[in-house]
Structure 1
Amino acid sequence: MELIKIYDTTLRDGTQGEDVSFQMKDKISIAHKLDELGIHYIEGGWPGSNPKDIAFFKEIKKETLSQAKIAAFGSTRRAKVTPDKDHNIRTLVAAKPDVITIFGKTWDFHVREALRISLEENLELINDSLAFLKENVDEVIYDAEHFFDGYKANPAYAIKTLQAAEAAKADCIVLCDTNGGNMPYEITEIIKAVQKQITTPLGIHTHNDSECAVANSLHAVKQGVVHVQGTINGFGERCGNANLCSIIPGLRLKLKKECIPDEQLRRLREVSRYVYELANIAPNKHQAYVGNSAFAHKGGVHVSAILRNTETYEHIRPEVVGNATRVLVSDLSGKSNILAKAEEFNIDINSKDPVTQEILEKIKEMEHCGYQFEGAEASFELLMKKSLGTHRNYFSVLGFRVVDEKRTDDQRPSSEATVLIKVGGKTEHTAALGNGPVNALDNAIRKALEKFYPKLKDLKLHDYKVRVLPNGSGTASSTRVLIESGDRQGRWGTVGVSDNIIDASYLALIDSIDYKLHGDDKS
């Protein structure tokens, strides 16, 4: 079976996406992750365009990769300048990558309007740039920019540009849907036409402006393309590049093609999350294959079915891409949801236990009031334990007060919270300042409890979200607060709902601390 080579351009094309930026050290770290995943080519950047990319190619030489080749990206030479004198070409060679990839113009419209040279001159640019690079590096890849649009506008000329690359002995010719507007049926038909006239191995590079980048890439492989370019999480300019987190499992699990080994495929979600983290972008929970919701089940009928056989509502086993089945709890839940979550939390109940129905009714009532447990499973576990009478009461808050004060217009507001907390037979009355009322309240509660439970010093608040619930009451509307907390062992979510934002925050904070204490008892 022919191996499909995966070419990752997250570190170059991916960084052209809005809000995406990596420091040089981040790029080195991501390169290691991609190598561990089994990616064949890692495009590190355009060394002729900025100092950061030049530094990357210098530093990556000091690193040891298990199998990935490092590619440098650039363009054909400028008009009226020979390759050996062209700064871009010389910089590519000086970077000393394993592979050099350059792009050239395919669309006659671009040749005339962007380059402002003759069509024949453009063919010379492509041919002698590639021929020069082949004399200086073992492997050269040619990206035929705007190929599909160029072919539709002028098929004969588009093919001539590929023939110029083939004559220069390029190792792979990549057909690019640069504007991302072509449909799968167009991609297939045009590739068929190309294959009648070009014998060099073909690659595919697509953008997602019509939401077809993944489909176009898979159709291209079905037609015989052996090299696929894309980015992790689909990062890229405008609507993004083809998403390798969907393409790779599509190739391996759907088309049954050799690309990366199954054992490395299990790292796909891990790599996806890692790249999101370094880009400082919240992961897309609805992302296919690797998202938190990709194998999450909410409807009672669905949950009942997957408990018997997961294939009823899952197209693959989530473990093969490093993901997991999740059962959500909401007002759409049935007893199956409750039983599945109880099993997940090692809580022993069954469908005939009256408490199961009690929990179900309680959840539906709370969700009607605005609660949401899909991102707050810690709060749900505590709710179950309270219903079963197995919840340990570590502390009681007898009362709290929060003061937010701004004395003059040019002064920052100051926040102070006082709490009265009872632990066992002892009462603590504590005050603390904070950066805002919620932070002050959090600091005061922790200050009181850490005397009794020192492990609370490990507790960190990672995320805080406020949602105004749509009840038409304006600033008096109810709010839902979701908090993500964590320690060295993991992370968890809690929720609070109230028509007072401080009270909603307090409820979520208390659940977070309570869950931490229960977890410490388990360990």
Structure 2
Amino acid sequence: MATQISIFDTTLRDGTQSEGISLSAEDKLKIAVKLDRLGVHYIEGGIPGSNTKDIEFFQRVKQLNLQSKITAFGFTRRKDSVTEHDSNLKRIVESGASAAALVGKSWDFHVHTALQTSLEENLAMISDSIRYVKQHGMEAIFDGEHFFDGYKSNPEYALSVLQRTAEAGADWIVLCDTNGGTLPHEIHEIVSRVVSQIRTPIGIHTHNDCELAVANTLAGVQAGARQVQGTINGYGERCGNANLCSIIPNLQIKQTYECISSEQLSQLTNVARYISEIANVHMPVFQPYVGNAAFAHKGGIHVSAIMKDAKTYEHIRPESVGNKQRVLVSELAGQSNVLLKAQELGLNMDNNNEKTKEMIERIKNLEHQGYQFEGADASLELLLRDAFGELEEIFTLESFKLFVEKTADQAVVSEAFVKIRVGDEKIYTAAEGNGPVNALDNALRKALVQYYPNIMKMHLADYKVRVIDEKDATAAKVRVLIESSDIDASWSTVGVSPNLIEASWEALVDSIRYSLLGEIKQQIAQEPASGRLGIVNH
């Protein structure tokens, strides 16, 4: 029987300490629902009463009837004070959360330097606080801050902190590598000793300052820790927290531990990308398990092999974590790459098909001109579908104009004027934006929204410009990569031109074309052939 590991998610508290991440109360509630469906056992919502967002979160989360245990974070009572009068502890109890995560000092250096109190008073602060939340019917989780540094400095005192916490009735004692400087072999050795001496269940909470948070967490579990604390995508202060998106499959797929159900595990990629979208943080393409490149193949020999058996170059089935295999097509591509990509799209392509050879040559020629399809899957799909005659016109561009004005006493103003034809209708729109590309995007969507309302659900998530040949200076060609997304997916498109605006327009139009693929197919299925609107023209 698999050993159960309790998953404690602190994305909504520790994760929000990551640079560039700020979540509204509504954001936090949406993420909590996703985490609950993923099956995490604890969701740490924040610090009750510390700010209006967290106050609202704890008030509203009660109405969601989540299965996960909502956990309130806080500190042990202040030094030389009465527990019952501590406002922090009172807010935790009043929050309505079913569990309390209390952080306390386990490093003698911090007790003397940060708290400026005695070692014995620190022990009393911890035990009094644990008893207080237990008396009010809450599950008590103690986070031993800086435990591993404390143990290496003064093992007797660090262990006495845990012993007093256990005697006070804590349900979990979590060992924290707060500075993220401990190595895996040290984690294993120290956790093993703790587990042999403390009867209370042990948890592990690590930070990624040495890029070892995942490895340290696994070492802790192997040594006997049974609760894992971390965040989705590894968000957190400084270099981040332990990444649950790597920890959960490493424990459940690679070892004999059970964290969540297999069905819930298959939602991992979706949850990771959803939370990245809500947090408005670009998700690293190379992130293991859930990243866009985690199961991507580029070399022709690799692709030829995975067509025979995916196990040749994939360590797990991508679908087990909700991801998918991707084949990248570039100037290095052989027939296998194009064949497998076409197969993914349901296109009839084989080794003897002349279209295959034509497409390979066309792709290589385009890459020679500066296009790069390995980072622009959506543009590649459109290219392949167009070659098979699957795409028709969405609109025809007649013209666009840009107006950019900067005066001495005003900010730069960008306006775009777009004239297009949809079927027999001519549409002329204008829109402003925070730059010329954003203005073009706004104007084009404004023109198309009456025909395709769902176009307003997508937005530009990232925009990159690369000079292809620096020696041509300002006359050089540029490559524009645009990443777009909606609440369910993200996709990338490419444009190339000596003119930055034209390259941006090309990538932008491809992005809109790709976004509308599903809607177009539905319309084609419902309309007679003579009345169809299709895709393409830029």
Alpha-carbon distance in 1 for matches of 2:400, 2:275? 42
Contact 2:413/2:432 (8 A) holds in 1: no
Contact 1:48/1:74 (8 A) holds in 2: no
Q: Give 1:236 shift.
A: 0.9
* 2:451 maps to 1:455: yes
Pick the aligned partner of 1:467 from 465, 468, 490. Answer: 465
Q: 1:8 to 1:501 in 2, by over 3 A?
A: same
Give the equivalent residue in structure 1 for 2:532: none
Give the equivalent residue in structure 2 for 1:232: 232
Contact 2:142/2:173 (8 A) holds in 1: yes
How far does the alpha carbon of each residue in 1:394-417 deviate from its partner, in whole angstroms, 9 at most, with x for none? 6655x6463535385445545454
Alignment of 1:331-370 (within 5 A): 331-370=331-370
Give the equivalent residue in structure 1 for 2:495: 496
Give the equivalent residue in structure 1 for 2:536: none
How far does the alpha carbon of each residue in 1:57-110 deviate from its partner, in whole angstroms, 9 at most, with x for none? 222222211x21111111111111121122222222222321112111111110
State the one-letter code of the partner of 1:459.
Answer: I
Q: 1:156 to 1:359 in 2, by over 3 A?
A: same
Alignment of 1:26-41 (within 5 A): 26-41=27-42
Q: Give 1:159 shift.
A: 0.9
* 2:100 maps to 1:100: yes
Contact 2:102/2:141 (8 A) holds in 1: yes
Alignment of 1:256-275 (within 5 A): 256-275=256-275
State the one-letter code of the partner of 1:6.
Answer: I
* 2:11 maps to 1:15: no
Give the equivalent residue in structure 1 for 2:529: none
Alignment of 1:4-403 (within 5 A): 4-65=5-66, 67-388=67-388, 392=392, 397=397, 400=399, 402-403=401-402
State the one-letter code of the partner of 2:451.
Answer: K
Contact 2:277/2:487 (8 A) holds in 1: no
Alpha-carbon distance in 1 for matches of 2:13, 2:393? 53
Q: 1:189 to 1:481 in 2, by over 3 A?
A: same
Alpha-carbon distance in 1 for matches of 2:488, 2:154? 60
Q: Give 1:386 shift.
A: 4.8
Q: How many residues align?
A: 516
Contact 2:468/2:478 (8 A) holds in 1: no
How far does the alpha carbon of each residue in 1:102-131 deviate from its partner, in whole angstroms, 9 at most, with x for none? 111111110111111111221222222222
Contact 2:48/2:72 (8 A) holds in 1: yes
Alignment of 1:429-440 (within 5 A): 432=430, 434-435=432-433, 437-438=436-437
Aligned-partner SS, 2:197: coil
Alpha-carbon distance in 1 for matches of 2:311, 2:237? 36
How far does the alpha carbon of each residue in 1:197-251 deviate from its partner, in whole angstroms, 9 at most, with x for none? 2121111011111111111111111111111111111111111111111111111
Q: 1:420 to 1:139 in 2, by over 3 A?
A: closer
Bigger mean CA deviation after superposition, 97-106 or 473-482: 473-482
When normalised by structure 2's length, the TM-score is 0.88
Aligned-partner SS, 2:141: strand
State the one-letter code of the partner of 1:482.
Answer: L
Gaps of 5+ in 1: none
Gaps of 5+ in 2: 526-538
Aligned-partner SS, 2:100: strand
Alpha-carbon distance in 1 for matches of 2:487, 2:166? 55
Contact 1:494/1:508 (8 A) holds in 2: yes
Q: Give 1:252 shift.
A: 0.8
Contact 1:48/1:87 (8 A) holds in 2: no
Alpha-carbon distance in 2 for matches of 1:214, 1:191? 15
State the one-letter code of the partner of 1:44.
Answer: G
When normalised by structure 1's length, the TM-score is 0.90
Alpha-carbon distance in 2 for matches of 1:121, 1:28? 38
